[in-house]
Chains A and B, each alone.
Chain A
Amino acid sequence: MNSADQSHNFATAGLPAETVGDVHVDHPRMTARNVDVFYGDKQAIDNVTLDIGEKQVISFIGPSGCGKSTFLRCLNRMNDTIDICRITGEIALDGQNIYDPKIDVVPLRARVGMVFQKPNPFPKSIFDNVAYGPRIHGIATSKDELNDIVESSLERAGLWNEVKDRLHQPGTGLSGGQQQRLCIARAIAVSPEVILMDEPCSALDPIATAKIEELIAELSSEYTIVIVTHSMQQAARVSQRTAYFHLGKLVEVGNTDQIFTNPQHEMTNNYITGRFG
């Protein structure tokens, strides 16, 4: 879809030509410049430029199908696994273009980890789940070191006390919320710099959600976090910056307080006040 095609669609009528708000930050960890994403002929992301600040939590919000997951998955090249997906523009991690042909996706994905919407622990033991990443990347040089990594990752994911007696039981035997924290532990076990989370709480009850949100707040002191969420309250609680997507466009981005109290663009306003989406 280019903008000429979109003009006859009433929902797109108010889309801005440029993103409203400041897409830049002082200390960016990742930078996206003029990113377009296509699934076959269908455009899912249209000219998005955005900085992701170091050790900040940024949340992506927007109506279903607007391309939040698509854009998120571009940040660690998970879209490579989809044959028909094509990306143009530039996305850089620490100034280095991750779509450069010289870049190897394996270390990239170790640096930019991912937590998915549905908890997806491997059908292995809890220990093996967390140890998976360190093992394939050769992070631990000894058994003790591996044990330490597993323990500290589970600790940081707030799961250690619940599972320390059953490390060798299957990870799939945990509750949904525990599984999601296991997945977070698994992601941080490889010491990523950035963690991408795609609706990490959408399959969880309020108590498990609260735990994960607490966890995100703690992790944000060490990691750069990008979270996709459908819950405005969640975005408000956990993130410093918020980006509002609509039909593949980044409509508005700004500090979370400002987006929720004083949105500049009418569409953002409509969305957060629940008038559509």
Chain B
Amino acid sequence: MSSLTLGIAILIISAAYFFVANRASSSQRAAGTKFHSLPHYYGLYAALLAFLPAFAILLVLAIGDDLVFRSLALDFVPDEVKASKNYKEVIVMAQITNVVDGINFGEQPDWVYAAAEAWKGWDATSTTLRTILVISLSLLGGMFAYRQVNPGFRSRNAVERIIMTILAASSAIAILTTIGIVFSVIFESLRFFALVPVSEFLFGTTWNPQFEGAERAGSGQMGLATYGSVPLFAGTFLISIVALTVSVPVGLFSAIYLSEYATPKVRAVVKPVMELLAGVPTVVYGFFAALTVAPFIRSTGMSLGLDVASESALAAGLVMGIMIIPFVSSLSDDVINAVPQALRDAAYGLGSTHSETVRQVVLPAALPGVVASILLAVSRAVGETMIVVMAAGLAANLSFNPLDAVTTVTSQIVTILVGDQEFESAKTLSAFALALTLIVITLGLNFVALQIVKKYREQYE
């Protein structure tokens, strides 16, 4: 049976156990026995025990069997192939799995067919084994639960505990994934720092990643790679500042307008339209920035006698700012709305004007949420890549002039990892170091913002 049909099968078994256990307890109840919990809890308990362990095993096997097959298939690869210079395990595996899947690219060596045949055999065996294992586990789990249906068994508490476990497991998945990502980034960064000194990376002012020995673009000579990340962080900082100068005031003011001044009718139209802004793919903003805004800024700058690069931090920052307006406005609007009407009444009752009420009572009370929305905007700005790639250029200039072309950390990560690459090279590994630094900075920002909020928050019940 395929994994899908197996999944459906255990669902059906669980449903059956639900009915059986439910009936068992309700008929005894009808006969006058006093049960600890209501009948459907006995049913639920049986169904959960029939489903969860079997499902967990099913998941593990579905992911795990490929790994086992791969290591088994390696035995079929002749030693001389393994010894050859351009041997790559990935390629060999692709050859074998292609044959297994019936995709043929020309004639393959005999050992590939042999491995593929064996693979198909393992597949059949493992499918049968898996079917038997999962179904019997489901039946056993359900049976175990069914046997426990008796007046003294506290099935309600058991079900509550199981549900709590499922919920906790879900949040554990989120946390573990994050930890996993952070650790892999740390690990790869350490390898990078083995090649390039930390001080050069953190304080160097020239960013010029190269494959060892490659020609430096256009210079006609062999260049040395330099990994000073300062220009990238400076670029990120510059573009983010431009974006935040646009999005924070505009977003916050429109949130205030929507929640405090607009009539319900206006609000009903404007709010969804603003949120639509957030739904536009960033690549659309990117070409808007590159094709409309950047040339406009350039020509305006020229007419003022300024020297403007055709790709500028200003163009990217402005468009990015527009893109993140809805993040600020939507969240701020929600928190402003959540400020109790009683506080506004108190302010009005003392003779405050509308804007005094907003400034002195509503906004301070909404501060933590407003700061959270700004933080969200910051992380969007720092993480945004597409617009920068398209509108701000890729030149790692160290400049704080918004009219210059700059580049950012994320867009460098993209350019480093796109296209042909050698994994072991300092160039590729530098992407991890950049990512790690970015994570640390973002965490730091969050921490600082939390402290600010703690200090200035006005807490209402």
Contacts and interface: CB of A to CB of B under 8 A. Distances in A.
Interface of A: 76, 78, 81, 83, 105-110, 113-114, 116, 118, 120-124, 132-133, 136-137, 170, 172, 183, 186-187, 190
Given A106-B351, A109-B351, A190-B351, A81 B345 contact: yes
Contacts of A190: 350-351
A107 B353 CA distance: 10
B111 interface: no
Interface in B414-461: 458-461
The range of chain B's interface size is: 20 to 34
B344 interface: yes
Given A83-B263, A120-B340, A124-B458, A133 B351 contact: yes
B213 interface: no
B346 interface: yes
Contacts of A118: 342
B361 interface: yes
B349 interface: yes
For B345, B350, B461, the residue with the greatest tally of chain A CB atoms inside 10 Å of its CB is B350
Contacts of A120: 340, 342-343, 345-346
Contacts of A107: 351
Contacts of A136: 350-352, 356, 360
B349 A113 contact: yes
Contacts, number: 72
A113 B401 CA distance: 54
B325 interface: no
B348 interface: yes
Contacts of B356: 136
Contacts of B460: 123, 172
B349 A78 contact: yes
B7 interface: no
B364 interface: yes
Contacts of A105: 351
Contacts of B458: 122-124, 170
The 8 closest A-B pairs by CB, nearest first: A123-B458, A114-B349, A109-B351, A120-B342, A110-B351, A133-B350, A123-B460, A120-B346
Nearest to B344: A81
Contacts of A122: 343, 346-347, 361, 365, 458
A107 B351 CA distance: 6
A78 B345 contact: yes
B353 A106 contact: yes
Given A123-B365, A132-B350, A136-B350, 10 more contacts: A76-B349, A106-B352, A109-B349, A109-B350, A116-B342, A120-B342, A122-B346, A133-B350, A136-B351, A136-B360
A131 B319 CA distance: 44
B360 to A, nearest CB: 7
Contact of B349 (A116, A123, A137, A170): A116
B459 A123 contact: yes
A186 B350 CA distance: 8
Contacts of A124: 364, 458
14 contacts: A78-B345, A78-B348, A114-B345, A114-B349, A116-B342, A120-B345, A120-B346, A121-B346, A123-B459, A136-B360, A170-B458, A172-B459, A186-B350, A190-B350
B351 A116 contact: no
A108 B352 CA distance: 11
Nearest to A80: B348
A274 B376 CA distance: 57
Nearest to A119: B342
Contacts of A172: 459-461
A116 B344 contact: no
Contacts of B347: 122, 132
B346 A183 contact: yes
Contacts of A108: 351
Contacts of A113: 349-350
Nearest to A134: B350
A181 to B, nearest CB: 14
Nearest to B459: A123
